[in-house]
Each structure stands twice: as C-alpha cells, then as structure tokens.
Amino acid sequence: MSQALDPGDRTPQPADVQDLLVSDFLRSDFTFMVLDFDAGLRFVGGACAVPGGAAGSAPCPAGASLRNLFSPSDLERLEPLIAEALNGRPGTLTFAFASDAHARSLKLAILPRCQGDGSGPAGVVLTIEDVTQRLHSRARLVALEDRLRAILSHAADAVLVIDTEGQIELANAAAEQLTGWPAEDLVGGPITVLMDEPYRSSHQGQIERYLEYGTSGILNVGPRPFPLLRRDGERLPIELSVGEAFIAGERKFIGVCRDISQRLEKDEALRAANAALRHKIHELQGLSQGLESQKLALERLAADNAAARAEAERANQAKSRFLATMSHELRTPLNGILAVSEALGRRDLAAADQELVEIISSSGQGLLSILNEVLDLSRVESGQLKIEPKVFRPRAAIGAVAEVWRFAAEAKGLQLQLNTRAMTALRIGDPERLRQILSNLINNAIKFSDSGAITLKARPVGRTDRLRFEVIDSGPGVAPEDRERLFQPFVQADSERTRRHGGAGLGLAICRELAMLMGGRIWVEPARSGGACFVVELPMPLAPAAAGAPPPAVAPLDAEARERVFDPKILVAEDHPLNRLVASIILEEAGLRFDCVEDGVAALEAVGRGGYDLVLMDVNMPRMDGLEATRLIRQLPAPLGTVPIVAVTANAAPDEVEACLQAGMTGFVAKPIRAAELLEVMAAALNLVA
C-alpha cells in the first residue's frame, strides 16, 4: 500500500481524504470501507473517520477511489478479489505497508454488499486489520517452540511431563534411551509404567496429597535416588528431580532423570579402595610409631654412656636390615602383582575385566610408591643418601619431569604449563635429586587439583647462585596452620584429603630433607589463583665455561646393527617360583627363548656349557648368591666369561647397585619388574642401542 500513485492514474479529490485514511491505517488496528459497484469509495468507518462525519464513521467526498489509497501493484492483487466478491465470493489478502516510522502487516477482507431490496450486488465492503503484532507474536511463539524442542531433543538428561492424573504428556529422546520405551508409547500412558512396587501403588496418592496439602516427599525437594523400571524389566538407579509448572493455565509436573548406575559402581569401588588404603596407612603409621619409639629409646641410651651409643648403633643397623628385608619381601609379591596385571592389561579383555586389572595395577603402584617413600625417608634420616653434584642443564631436567607427569595431568583434564625461559645456562647440582623433588611436588599438585592448570616455573634468584622453582596448583589451597606441619612425615592437611587422594604423607617430608641436603629450603604459600604454591630454592652455581655441555643422549642402532643379535637366548637365575613365573611371562610375550635355574651354582654351570647370550641374575639365592656367581663367571674364558649379566633384585639401594656393578654385572633392574624397563636394559646389554 502506498501514498504516492502515478498522477496519470489518479482521480482528482481533496488530498486530505487520502492522507487521513493512510494516517489512520498506521495508527489503528481496524477500519472498514464501503465501495460502490465501480469500486469508488462511498463510506469509511471503524477506527478512522473524516472530519465532520458521525463519530467513528464518515461519508467520503465524491470521486474518492481505491486508486487513491493503493499502489498499482497492490491494486493488481486486490481487483480480482473485488470481482470475486461482487459475484458473491468473499476473500482475504495480507500485504505489507511501509512508512517512514513503521513497517506493518495488514489483513484485507473483501465482502459482497447487496442492494437494499436484495435485487443484486451494490458493491463491496473492505475491512482492514493491522495484524503486525499478531504475526510477530506468532513468529516468536514458533521460535520458542523450536528452541524448546531443540533443547529437549539434545538434553543429556531424560525429561518427562505428566499431568495431575499421572499421565505422560511429553518425553524427550533421552527419556526413550533411558527407559527403553519409544516416545509414542510413553506419551498418553501412566507414569507408573516406569515404577516398581511400592512406588507404583503410592504414586497417585502422593499426587492427590500434594494437590490437597501442598506437601510431598519428592516434589520440589531437589535430586534424590530412585529405582526406574525399564521396559525390559531392568531396575536402573537414577537421580530424579520433580518440579511443578503451569502450562497454558494447567498444573503439570516435570521430572528430570539421570542414570547414576556407573557413578554408584565407581563410588563403591572407590570406597573399597579407600578402605584398603586406610588399612595400609594404619599399618604404616603403626610401623612409624614403632620406629619412632625405638629411635627415642636409642637416643636415651646414647645419652647415658658409650655402651648405650654402641647399642643404639647396633639397633640402627638392625633397623636398616629390617627395612632391607622388608623391602625385599614386599617387592617379591608386588613383582608378581604388577607384572601379571601389566601382562593382563596388554591382552584383549572385556571392559569390566580391564577395569579390574587397572584397579589391581594402580593399587600395586600405590603400594610400591609408599614402599619407596619409606625407604627413601629412612636413607635420608640415616645419612645414607648422598648428593652427587654434576654439570647439567636445569631446563632439560625440568622438561623431563614435565613429560613424565603430562599424561597424568591430562588424564584429569589439567594443563601442565612450564615457564623456564630464564633457565638457559649450565649449572652444577644433583639433577636426579632435583627431579625427585619436582616429581613429588607435581604429583601432589595433580592429586589435589580437579580442574584448571598446574604451572612449573623456574628462574634465578637475583644475582645469587640460587635457583627458585615454583609448582602452582589450582586445588583448595593450604590453611596457614597446616603449612609447616605438611612437611612432617606421615602428615597431610586433613583426614578428608587423605581418604580422597591417598598416599602416606611422606613425599613432602622427603622433599624437605633433600632440599636441606642440597643446601636449600622448601615452603608453601598461597597462590594468586586460589590454590597452593610450593617454592624450592637451591644453590646451583653456574658451571665453568670449560665444563662444556652434558654428553648427548644414547641413540638407537640402525637395523643392520640390530640383526647382529637377532634371536638371543636368555638364562634366568631366580630361586623364587613367583619371580620365575613373572620373568617367563615377560620373555614369552617378547618372543624370546629362555631357560631357568634356581641358584648361583646352577647358573655358573649353565653359562659354562655355553649357548646363552644374556643372564638375568637374582642376587639373593641359596647355595651361591648372584654376586659370587657373577664373579666366577667373569673368570671363565672368552666368550663365556663376557656374557652380559643383568641384576634383577629387590635390593634397590644405591650401595647395592654399586655392589652389583663391582661384581661385574652389566646392568641393573629393580623389583617389581616392569616389562618395558627390563626389555630396555636387556637391549642395551645386548648392544641393541649404541
């Protein structure tokens, strides 16, 4: 519709008639016009009227026509409908009208008008209604319905809408998957089809009680566990939330259901693991208390006289022997647990069986970690742990630690970030002990962070020879009263964290002892992000320019070199049947030939007969131990006396490793045995790496 027409097509009339009508169309919702047989305007009524007419209606000046109100294109659409109306057939037409201030949608209805005596058509009546708001409302309603439909269809939780009679009115796609019922079968049926007794019998009564008294045991009270009855008869544990809503003025109940079966299974497994861990921690705490009591008693004896000091020394030696024996005896069954679980993990098992294997493996690794921490702390306290300074590159050591822990961090959805831009120079220090400290701190940060990032920073401290290392987590932080006692043995921030994250509380104590041995210190402070920031400062002076770079890493041989030892035969010297079984599993899976003997005498005889390319030698064996057997093998003529010998023993202390090397052994593998580590050491001994 337009106010401007071609002057050649316009019948002359007062300009104010058109202006008034167009203006009223824009301001009103409804108007009507009476047209003569020749489509001339005769009367206007409704919301618009011309000046001087009756209220709400007015006759039009002579000669007024639709041509003055509609554009030629609109008239082309309108004229056929007027012709149809003159023949007794009414019609409608919707079109857009634009002005400088508004854009409207108008609905035009055309009705026939008869002569007063009913003898024939006299013209038509046009009604014009502004339907802009109605069309906008309808479009918004369609958009809202589309949005709601999309939300429900993509929702991860099942959504059900029921009426006050307990009939299902709506079920989304997640509800189909959860219940096993197609949505078309659920809708219109009773909600009790998803309930087992006694809930089925009491459900409608609960609805009626709520409608009457406004109270219910499940409505508007938040999520609660509920047994859902699936179509196949399975009872599935779910978390159910039910709320009240009014839709089109009618009361409805909306239920949101979530499958919690896997969560319950994991919770149960976690409770069992925590119970076992608490039991082991209790045992270790008892051991610690016993050792502490013994230490105090020895200190009192040492204060009395020299004889008491000698007795204390003997007792300390007995403790060391006890820890060494304990280490050996615990590592033997752990060797079986970890090796067998590792072998099972490489097999094609069902998902449930694979999960059990992973639980066994992680529990065994946890016990091994605790055992190593106890031994490390014991060696530190007894002065057996030595610092070995050497030239190294701190950035490389930090990068190696980060690579070890990156997978564990990513498995929890954490980012492991490094900031070592300032660590470019060579330094003098003990890289192994630095890696041990940083590994313990990153392990703690991963355990106590559920989201966010772990950041490891390193930089020199001003112009001094000290380096500052910071490990920043995104966990709950450490209360001021706990910051000092965290570095005591067998201590964690609180019992809740101990139950949740496990551990014996020895890692930070070992870090403190190592930092002190290296002439540095360690402490904890709050992080800006809200977590904790563990800080280590260690003296590590710059290396002299003549020291040069550390030696390059070992590179693997080419294919030609590997063919020189294509099918080696291995001799396993081991007195314990379980350890022989573990070695057999690893070597069989690697496709290697091997024989087993049970003591050093048999090992010496077997090597003397020849035919073996490598010996896996236990150290503690009856008749002849592994050290003596190795020394006697080295006295055999070449090539028998030059066969590579790898020590495989639970005695993992540095002085014991040195004893093995002094006896003539080629390599060393500590129990519990890891298949990858054993095969790597064997490959090095067989010259499969350069």
Q: What percent of the chain has pLDDT over 70?
A: 72
pLDDT single digits (tens) 402-452: 887 887 788 888 988 998 888 888 899 988 888 888 888 888 888 888 888
Cα separation, 318 vs 294, in Å, equals 11
- HEC string of 559-607? HHHHHHHCCCEEEEECCCHHHHHHHHHHHHHCCCEEEEECCHHHHHHHH
Cα separation, 67 vs 10, in Å, equals 6
Q: What is the pairing mode between strands 427-429 and 390-392?
A: antiparallel
Residue whose pair of structure tokens reads 């039910």 in the numeric block: 242
| Residue 565: per-residue pLDDT | 46
pLDDT single digits (tens) 506-526: 678 888 888 888 899 999 888
At residue 458 the predicted structure's pLDDT band, cuts being 50, 70 and 90, is very high
Choose the most confident range, by mean pLDDT, from 1-10, 146-155, 172-181: 172-181
| Residue 491: per-residue pLDDT | 54
Cα separation, 15 vs 62, in Å, equals 13
Higher pLDDT, 537 or 146: 537
| Residue 611: per-residue pLDDT | 92
Q: Give the residue among 426, 423, 500, 413 at the shortest CA–CA distance from 456.
A: 423
Q: Give the residue among 22, 9, 131, 121 at the shortest CA–CA distance from 67.
A: 9
**Mean pLDDT value of segment 274-290:** 89
The pTM for the full model equals 0.38
| Residue 6: per-residue pLDDT | 36
DSSP string, 468-500: EEEEE--SS---GGGTTGGGSTT--S-HHHHHH
pLDDT beyond 50 at 528: yes
- Taken as a whole, the chain contains a residue count of 690
140-149, 381-390, 644-653: which range is least confident on average?
381-390
Q: Is 214 left (phi over 0), alpha (psi -120 to 50) or beta?
A: left
Higher pLDDT, 559 or 641: 641
The domains of the chain, with CATH numbers, are 7-137 (3.30.450.20), 155-259 (3.30.450.20), 263-382 (1.10.287.130), 390-547 (3.30.565.10), 559-685 (3.40.50.2300)
Cα separation, 110 vs 85, in Å, equals 6
| Residue 615: per-residue pLDDT | 95
Cα separation, 244 vs 653, in Å, equals 68
CA 500 to mean position of chain CA atoms:
17
